[in-house]
């Protein structure tokens, strides 16, 4: 990257607008929803079946799959990670 630019980074802009954390949360949620949708397609699994796999309701799965709904618990993320065969790594920076 060229170091001779004027202005701040996009993250700095989002932070100045006080929307950085919300933007990051939405981005993370969209990645989770996308990965889950792709796994569902690959496994040819329905929302009802996924709800049973995750031991939750169909409504909860619909909320998880909604990329604009950033509300998701760590417990739910853990269930999704296990379903996807992934591991959660949490970091405070």
| Domains in the chain: boundaries | 40-93
Instruction: Give residue 9's Cα distance to chain centre.
Output: 23
Q: Is the CB of residue 69 less than 8 Å from the CB of residue 63?
A: yes
Q: What is the mean pLDDT of residues 2-21?
A: 74
Q: Is the CB of residue 72 less than 8 Å from the CB of residue 64?
A: yes
Question: Which tokens belong to 24?
Answer: 């990051």
Comparing CA positions, the residue from 93, 85, 81, 91 lying closest to residue 31 is 81
**Binning pLDDT at 50, 70 and 90, where does residue 5 land?**
low
Q: What is the DSSP letter of 5?
A: -
pLDDT greater than 70 at residue 10: yes
**Binning pLDDT at 50, 70 and 90, where does residue 2 land?**
low
Angle between helices 47-54 and 74-84 (to 10 degrees): 110
Question: Per CATH, the architecture of 40-93 is what?
Answer: Orthogonal Bundle (1.10)
pLDDT, tens digit, for every residue of 28-75?
A: 899 999 999 999 999 999 999 999 999 999 999 999 999 888 888 889
**Binning pLDDT at 50, 70 and 90, where does residue 21 land?**
confident
Give me the sign of the Cα torsion angle 59, 65, 69, 70. positive
**Binning pLDDT at 50, 70 and 90, where does residue 7 land?**
low
């Amino acid at each position: 990257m060229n170091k001779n630019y004027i202005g701040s980074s996009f993250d700095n802009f989002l932070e100045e607008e006080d929307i950085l954390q919300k933007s990051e949360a939405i981005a993370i949620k969209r990645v989770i929803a996308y990965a889950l949708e792709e796994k569902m397609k690959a496994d040819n699994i329905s929302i009802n079946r996924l709800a049973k796999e995750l031991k939750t309701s169909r409504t909860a799965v619909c909320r998880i799959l909604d990329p604009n709904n950033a509300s998701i618990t760590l417990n739910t993320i853990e269930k999704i990670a296990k379903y996807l065969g992934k591991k959660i790594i949490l970091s405070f920076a």
